Amino acid sequence: MPPSGDQGAARAAVFDVDGTLVDTNYLHVAAWWEALRQAGHDVPSQAIHRAVGLGSSDLVEHLLGVERAREEAEALGAAHKTLYGQYFGRLTALPDAGRLLRRLAEDGWKVVLATSAGGQELSALRTALDADDAISGMASADDVSDGKPAPEPVEQALEQAGAAPERSVFVGDTVWDMQAGSRAGVTCVGLLCGGIPREDLEKAGADVVYDGPEALLASLARSPLGNRD
């Protein structure tokens, strides 16, 4: 929902978290692989990796089909949550992730997170990132009815920031992020640190691609997140 009035002057820098700011994608793959294996499903890790970034039910549907998801999504999601929870105390931010968010906040951007995580998982991610002082808002799984690749998480983030799409940038690491940002009408920045190939991100809507937060910070002035007045 685009903001109206004076709110449109705000600039939103919207960030995915998993794989974009915190190094979690392969931990998710391991947890989903084990949850699926325990339920009797032999799903290659590569397929799971490409599904990471979807909400739990959507990920199961993407991997197993609609009927299996209807029957098993809740149990598989709970198993993944338990397995992934073992890593909470060891999650690590990607290089310069916190510095990037703080620099953007200093430059006048409203920094908002848009993530499919929620509850204790989101708390663990925020602890690992350690940049709450730079974050002005958050659109989590607890706040939206449809996750990425639907545009709702990005639109919710823009609403929290009071920013119009044409004044905003979304940074993510998966094709689902790029599709969500494109549908929300924002400029999309893809990062390779989540393990998805550059070509896939560009096909999904990335306007520009960087290796990770560190590379984006180093090229900030020339990027879509350069200081726009």
Domain 25-86: which CATH number of 3.30.300, 3.40.50, 1.10.150, 1.10.3470: 1.10.150
pLDDT the model gives residue 43:
98
pLDDT the model gives residue 143:
81
Query: At the topology level of CATH, where does 5-24+92-222 sit?
Result: Rossmann fold (3.40.50)
* Digit-coded pLDDT (tens) for 127-159: 999 999 999 999 987 788 888 999 999 999 999
| DSSP line for 158-202 | HHHHTEEEEEEEEEESSHHHHHHHHHHT-EEEEEGGGS--HHHHH
pLDDT the model gives residue 229:
55
Distance CA 202, CA 223 (A): 16
- Cα–Cα nearest to 114, from 100, 99, 125: 125
Contact 2, 165 (CB under 8 A): yes
pLDDT the model gives residue 215:
98
Distance CA 52, CA 44 (A): 13
The domain segmentation of the chain, as residue ranges, is: 5-24+92-222, 25-86
Q: What is the dihedral of CA 8, 105, 147, 88, to 10 degrees?
A: -170
Q: What is the pTM of this model?
A: 0.94
pLDDT the model gives residue 6:
44
* Digit-coded pLDDT (tens) for 30-80: 999 999 999 999 999 999 999 999 999 999 999 999 999 999 999 999 999
* Encoded tokens for 164: 């119009």
